[in-house]
């Protein structure tokens, strides 16, 4: 049996996950776990490159762990770990620092955006962020990295770093491919901005079903449907775009007809979505609750994840050090 190809992705510890994360990324990863050997890491060391509160970070990392495990990244199917638990990442990061041209880092869009936001607090860590990301990937010699569109530039730099290392010290790191997912880029319940926790327009994956309904009920739909008997256009409706995530095609076609012919009201339409969404989220929320009741088991899973990751990481790091002439 030939070894399975390997994937790594990094998860920002921005706390509890929302349905945009779930349908945009995690669902895709769960599918990939059948075909690839998967490493997923919660990137706490990346999170400290901008201003943050230590207590809050701790909570966000824990929430990210519970939510992602509940959503399907369980220890039986992949290697899930916290980045700072595998110190080899930072050690390789230093080695890669020494082959990365400074000019490339200054060009990174994410760096430019974040340094705008940080103003007084632009650290060397923020500048070197993409090198740590390259280390995350290269240390597992990952074949591919499933990420969103916005990470394309970082992935290009990762390949450039691999090429430079290989050119200088001998072919060692494979150049990882970018696996851009189905990319369900969904809008928040405001129907205006991309769904984001910090914008307050998100539907949480493990939120209470009633709380989710309270968000859906008043949400904006197609403006043409001012009254119940006004026909609407599903393609102009944010709720209809949500149906594409959780409602089977046949039922969706029926809804579209009902909307155009004004035979279904928006509240009924939202109720259908809520029901279908809950069919997906109920088991996730229940698993989340079970995990929260047993934090020791979660910690043990993280320990095992880090241990498994370290075995691979250690070996790659040792080889890189040898090639670089370190005794
Ligand atoms: N920079 C990525 C983001 O903002 C997170 C990340 C860190 C990552 N390390 C990674 C993604 C390694 C893929 C692979 O989403
Ligand atoms: Fe949107 Fe459904 Fe209302 Fe049509 S019936 S406008 S798809 S919520």
Going by pLDDT thresholds of 50, 70 and 90, the confidence category of residue 183 is low
Minimum mean pLDDT range among 182-186, 237-241, 252-256: 182-186
CB 144 within 8 A of CB 36: yes
Average pLDDT over residues 172-188: 86
Provide the domain count of the chain. 2
Q: Say if residue 319's pLDDT is above 90.
A: yes
| Helix segments in 152-294, DSSP class H | 152-169, 209-216, 238-246, 249-260, 266-293
Structural domain span for residue 309: 6-186+295-323
Q: Residues 26, 27, 29, 31: what is their CA dihedral angle, to the nearest 10 degrees?
A: 170
In the reported structure, the alpha carbon of residue 235 is separated from the centroid of ligand 2 by a whole-number distance in angstroms of 9
Q: Which residues line ligand 1 (CB under 6 A)?
A: 8-10, 12, 43, 46, 133, 136-137, 145, 147, 151, 154
Asked if 168 and 231 sit in the same domain, the reply is no
Residues with Cβ within 8 Å of residue 243, at least 6 apart in sequence: 252, 255, 269, 272, 273, 276
**Residue of 216, 218, 237 to test ligand 2 pocket, by largest number of atoms within 8 Å of CB:** 237
User: Which ligand is located closest to the Cα atom of residue 131?
Assistant: 1
- pLDDT tens for 24-81 read 899 999 999 999 999 999 999 999 999 999 999 999 999 999 999 999 999 999 999 9
- pLDDT tens for 199-225 read 999 999 999 999 999 999 999 999 999
In the reported structure, the alpha carbon of residue 21 is separated from the centroid of ligand 1 by a whole-number distance in angstroms of 14
Report the alpha-carbon distance of residue 326 to residue 305 in Å, rounded.
28
Average pLDDT over residues 175-189: 85
Report the alpha-carbon distance of residue 259 to residue 177 in Å, rounded.
42
The answer to whether residue 106 is domain-embedded is yes
> If residue 177 lies in a helix (H) or strand (E), which one and from where to where?
strand 177-180
| CATH code, domain carrying 22 | 3.40.50.620
Average pLDDT over residues 225-250: 96
Res 149: pLDDT = 85
Report the alpha-carbon distance of residue 111 to residue 130 in Å, rounded.
9
Asked if 247 and 152 sit in the same domain, the reply is no
CB 310 within 8 A of CB 86: yes
pTM: 0.93
CB 258 within 8 A of CB 272: no
Percentage above 90 pLDDT, the chain: 91
Asked if 253 and 152 sit in the same domain, the reply is no
Going by C-alpha positions, the residue among 205, 189, 174, 325 that lies closest to residue 270 is 189
**Residue of 7, 9, 111 to test ligand 1 pocket, by largest number of atoms within 8 Å of CB:** 9
Going by C-alpha positions, the residue among 114, 168, 108, 112 that lies closest to residue 134 is 108
In the reported structure, the alpha carbon of residue 180 is separated from the centroid of ligand 2 by a whole-number distance in angstroms of 30
Asked if 11 and 44 sit in the same domain, the reply is yes
- pLDDT tens for 110-145 read 999 999 998 888 999 999 999 999 999 999 999 999
Asked if 79 and 22 sit in the same domain, the reply is yes
Q: For the CA atoms of the chain, what is the radius of gyration?
A: 22
């Amino acid at each position: 049996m030939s070894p399975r190809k390997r994937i790594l992705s990094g998860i920002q510890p921005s706390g509890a996950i929302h349905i945009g994360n779930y349908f945009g990324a995690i669902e895709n990863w769960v599918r990939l776990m059948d075909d690839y050997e998967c490493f997923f890491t919660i990137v706490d060391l990346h999170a400290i490159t901008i201003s943050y509160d230590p207590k809050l970070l701790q909570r966000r990392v824990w929430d990210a762990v519970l939510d992602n495990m509940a959503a399907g990244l369980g220890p039986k199917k992949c290697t899930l770990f916290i980045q700072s638990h595998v110190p080899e990442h930072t050690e390789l990061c230093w080695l890669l620092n020494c082959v990365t041209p400074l000019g490339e880092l200054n060009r990174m869009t994410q760096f430019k955006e974040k340094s705008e936001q940080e103003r007084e607090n632009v650290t060397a860590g923020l500048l070197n962020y993409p090198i740590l990301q390259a280390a995350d990937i290269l240390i597992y010699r990952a074949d591919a990295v499933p990420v969103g569109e916005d990470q394309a530039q970082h992935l290009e730099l990762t390949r450039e770093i691999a090429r430079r290392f290989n050119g200088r010290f001998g072919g060692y790191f494979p150049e990882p491919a970018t696996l851009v997912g189905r990319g369900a880029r969904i809008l928040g319940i405001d129907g205006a901005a991309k769904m984001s926790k910090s914008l307050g327009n998100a539907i949480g994956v493990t939120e209470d079903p009633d709380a989710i309904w309270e968000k859906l009920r008043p949400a904006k739909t197609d403006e043409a449907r001012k009254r119940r008997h006004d026909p609407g256009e599903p393609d102009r409706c944010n709720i209809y775009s949500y149906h594409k995530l959780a409602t089977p095609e046949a039922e969706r076609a029926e809804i579209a007809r009902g909307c155009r012919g004004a035979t279904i009201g928006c509240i009924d339409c939202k109720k259908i979505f809520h029901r279908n969404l809950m069919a997906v989220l109920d088991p996730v929320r229940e698993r989340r609750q079970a995990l929260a009741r047993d934090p020791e088991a979660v910690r043990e899973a993280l320990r095992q994840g880090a241990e498994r990751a370290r075995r691979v990481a250690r070996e790659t790091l040792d080889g890189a050090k040898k090639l670089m002439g370190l005794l």
